[in-house]
Amino acid sequence: MQILTYIGRRLIFVGPQLVGILLVTFLLLKLIPGDPAVMMLGPFATDDGLARLRTELGLDRSIVEQFGIYLWRVLHWDLGTSWQTTMPVTSDLAQRFPATLELVTLSLLLALAIGMPLGVVGARNRNGIVRKFADIYGLAAGALPDFWFGLVLIFILYTILGVVPAPLGRLDFTIIPPPDVTGSLLIDSVISGNWPALRNAAGHLLLPVLTLGLINAAPILKMTLSTMERMLEADFSRYAEMCGLPPKVVARKALRNSLPSVITIVSVLYGFLIGGAVLVEIVFSWGGAGQYAVQGVLNADLNPVLGFVLYSAILSLVIYLIVDLIYFAIDPRTR
């Protein structure tokens, strides 16, 4: 009942939060130079044609009226149509968002597999070689732009060594994709038993996942390292050592008390990478939702941008709610 009450309180604020996010995004997009009517009809369009299209799009109305009309459509789950693809935004995002989620999820799993062990071992052995490597790695990875690192990996692993597929999308053109069930090529390939597609999709995922995983392991490493050090120096750890508990047991208890901070940084990274991975998507021609939104900004196609922001906001709110529920499970102080 306590958890259900907490979830109910959080859900009350979901609506106002989404409206506020859409409002800010809508106003910022209106400040960007560019006339959607001119972009759609081209530079040789007549004044009458432009005026007629602006009326059809509602661009001749006030900003308040335009936002009100858009919000009313959103309430009926109508996110409009992209003039670039001539498809409903919901259909475009349903096709592209799973690609971004697959990339971001696998990248964060790799970052966790790298950052947490290095942070734990480095905190336990402050003068060891692992700690020195963790300090250097955290500093270097935090200073590297992800798109530049992706280009370096392409040059080494594809151009020179030739051990990975060409960084052109999620599948080779000669591979038949599996039936679309979840949107994740890996999962859909396993469901349909399409093993050539599974191998090819995994090969295409290797470079972008390595790029984002190695870069984003740095904040996880630093958070794990700092919180583990504090927990190992805390009174309960020192008391456990005085009572003769093995160092592994003490470290395990310290790690459990460090998990809330680590989970927090992972949830923040997840929400950030939904839109922050767009440069990596462009480098690898990934065709994800972030790349779709950037093309909308560049071409004054507002509906894809607003739809992407709405999807990202909903996903971020769901992630934060899941994180809070995990806090309930691992931290008795929150119950």
Tens-digit pLDDT profile for residues 181-209: 888 889 999 999 999 999 999 999 999 99
Whether the pLDDT of residue 269 is over 70: the answer is: yes
Task: Record the pTM.
Answer: 0.85
> Could you tell me the CA-to-CA distances from 95 to 13, 77, 90 in Å, in that order?
29, 16, 9
Residues of the chain with CATH 1.10.3720.10: 97-334
CATH hierarchy code of domain 97-334:
1.10.3720.10
Distance CA 308, CA 225 (A): 35
Helix (H, G, I), strand (E, B) or coil at 137: helix
Structure tokens of 7?
């979830």
- List the end-to-end C-alpha distance of the chain, in Å, as a whole number: 11
**Burial classification of residue 11, based on how many CB atoms lie within 10 Å of its CB (0-12 exposed, 13-18 middle, 19 or more buried):** exposed
Cα radius of gyration rounded to whole Å, the chain: 24
pLDDT tens per residue, range 116-169: 999 999 888 888 898 899 889 988 888 888 889 999 999 999 999 988 888 888
Confidence of residue 115 (pLDDT cuts 50, 70, 90): very high
Tell me phi and psi for residue 81, to 5 degrees: -125, 140
